[in-house]
Structures are given as structure tokens and as C-alpha cells.
Amino acid sequence: MKRALEACMPTTIHRCCIWHIMKKIPSKLNGYKGHAEIEQEMSEVVWNSHSKDSFDRNWNEFLLNFGLVDNKWLSDLYEDRHIWVPIYLDHHFWTGMRSTQRISML
């Protein structure tokens, strides 16, 4: 879907829902020792990095500390950080929408 949106609407800025990403942490990282601590630390890195440089530095330190450097899901998330990490999206106007808003199905 991401590629289709980019192809059809190349000048539109798209972002992923951070709520959905954060909800996947337990299922994606549950097999790791200390997965609750991993979830907490990842949340800290994502929400409390105050610049792009600090996010990159904190993310790399997080991966090294927990032995997650080779985790494909986390690598893919890092590659797409510009469409879900708050510090990478703060310079865009979103008309009051947040990436944490969920769609409710009627």
C-alpha cells in the first residue's frame, strides 16, 4: 500500500500510525529476554528524542544494548523512521491530526 500511495500521490506526505507500530512491539519482540524492558526503552527512544540526531544515536544504542542489531522488523522500522517517528514529522502541518489517532469502524 505504501508504494501504491507514493506512486499515485507523489507530492503527498504520508505517515504510518505510531499507535499501530507501538502495539506490535509485544508480538514482534516477545521472544527476546527482557521483552518488557525492550518495549519500555523503545518507547522512550521514540517519544523522548528531541532531535533527529539524538533519535538516531538513541536508536543505535538501544539496538546495541539489547542485542537487536539484526532484527529485521526493527531495521525496517528504522528505514521508515521519517514516516512514523514524531521528531521526523514535527516540521509538517497536519491540520490537527495526530499519528496516534485510530480509525474507528462503524
pTM reported for the whole predicted model:
0.76
Q: Which residues contact residue 71 at a Cβ distance below 8 angstroms, ignoring those fewer than 6 apart? A: 29, 63
- pLDDT, tens digit (0-9, with 9 covering 90-100), for 94-105: 445 554 555 433
Residue 26 lies in a domain: yes
CA atoms within 13 A on the CB side of 4: 1
- pLDDT, tens digit (0-9, with 9 covering 90-100), for 32-59: 888 889 999 999 999 999 999 999 999 9
Give the N- to C-terminal CA distance of the chain in Å, as an integer.
Answer: 23
Where is pLDDT greater, at 71 or 88?
71
Residue 45 lies in a domain: yes
Residue 21 lies in a domain: yes
Give how many domains the chain has, as a whole number. 1
Identify the pLDDT of residue 91. 67
Average pLDDT over residues 20-31: 88
Residue 99 lies in a domain: no
Task: State what percent of residues in the chain have pLDDT above 90.
Answer: 45
pLDDT, averaged across the chain? 83
Domain that holds residue 56: 17-89
Instruction: List the grid coordinates of 83.
Output: 514516516
Identify the pLDDT of residue 105. 38
